[in-house]
Amino acid sequence: MSGRFAGKTAIVTGASRGIGLGIAERLVADGARVVITARKPEALEEAVAHLGGPDVALAVAGKADDLDHQADTVRRTLERFGSIDLLVNNTGINPTYGPIMELDLGAARKVVEVNCIAALSWTQQVYAAWMKEHGGSVVNVSSVSGIRPAPGIGFYGATKAMLISLTELMALEMAPTIRVNAVAPAVVKTRFASALYEGREEQVAAAYPLGRLGVPADIADAVSYLLSDEASWVTGQLLVLDGGVTLGGVGE
């Protein structure tokens, strides 16, 4: 699509499918080399082939909140491509559904670890290894459930609210050479969100002023902009990507 990221390298977490893969695909189209992470090696290898092969993409399998996996990914990124100019903290989990008064606290701690602490530790590792000396840009993938109460997935939303707060703090601490922003999608048509619309997509989409649910490309386009020099005076901001649904109520 453009050469805005020519010569630059991105790490995108949680990118074997869905929003993460859509972001990686857009960054490659814009000239970047990408390193993608997720838990399942087979899915990652399929994603690498989809992205254009080893000249432009590298897969590193592991758990997003595993510090050794993070360090290994950073090391292998620098060995293969020589820089880490862009970071997208996309990994998120939501293993529970229901009222928070019935929430298993062990599950709650795991959601915080993956959705919040892992985003911080990925950023710390990339900062120490490259961005502290060379600068860069970071985007965190939050959710509209982080800005509006979302019954049933309320604790997931609470972690996404924390991620928004972390985004602002990171932006303050790492300026002026590193920019940090976030996006907050509503329901996007992915396997992760399928329980929120499957079998009733038309009914769910009717609540959206723009008349449809999101697709990964909607998020990828916005992330590419925020990572790019076109957003060089934008940091610490949250871009809501919701088809207008939060104008009149609660989205995902």
- Give residue-wise pLDDT tens across range 224-249: 999 999 999 999 999 999 999 999 74
For 201, the 3-state DSSP assignment is helix
| Tokens of residue 212, six digits | 């449809």
- pLDDT by residue for the chain (252 residues), tens only, comes to 679 999 999 999 999 999 999 999 999 999 999 999 999 999 999 999 999 999 999 999 999 999 999 999 999 999 999 999 999 999 999 998 999 999 999 999 999 999 999 999 999 999 999 999 999 999 999 999 999 999 899 999 999 999 999 999 999 999 999 999 999 999 998 877 777 777 788 888 898 999 999 999 999 999 999 999 999 999 999 999 999 999 974 444
pLDDT of residue 250: 44
Measure the CA–CA gap between 118 and 184, rounded to whole angstroms: 18
* Residue 156 is among the residues annotated as catalytic for this protein: yes
pLDDT of residue 2: 79
pLDDT of residue 251: 43
pLDDT of residue 29: 98
Query: What's the CATH class of domain 9-186+214-247?
Result: alpha beta
- Whether cis (ω within 30° of 0) applies to the bond prior to 176 is yes
Measure the CA–CA gap between 134 and 120, rounded to whole angstroms: 19
pLDDT of residue 1: 66
Burial of 112 (0-12, 13-18, 19+ CB in 10 A): middle
Residue recorded with tokens 């490259």: 130
The answer to whether the beta carbons of residues 142 and 92 sit under 8 Å apart is no
pTM of the shown model: 0.94
pLDDT of residue 191: 79
Of the candidates 127, 156, 208, 225, the residue annotated as catalytic is: 156
Residue recorded with tokens 């959206």: 208
Q: For the chain, what is the radius of gyration of the CA atoms?
A: 17
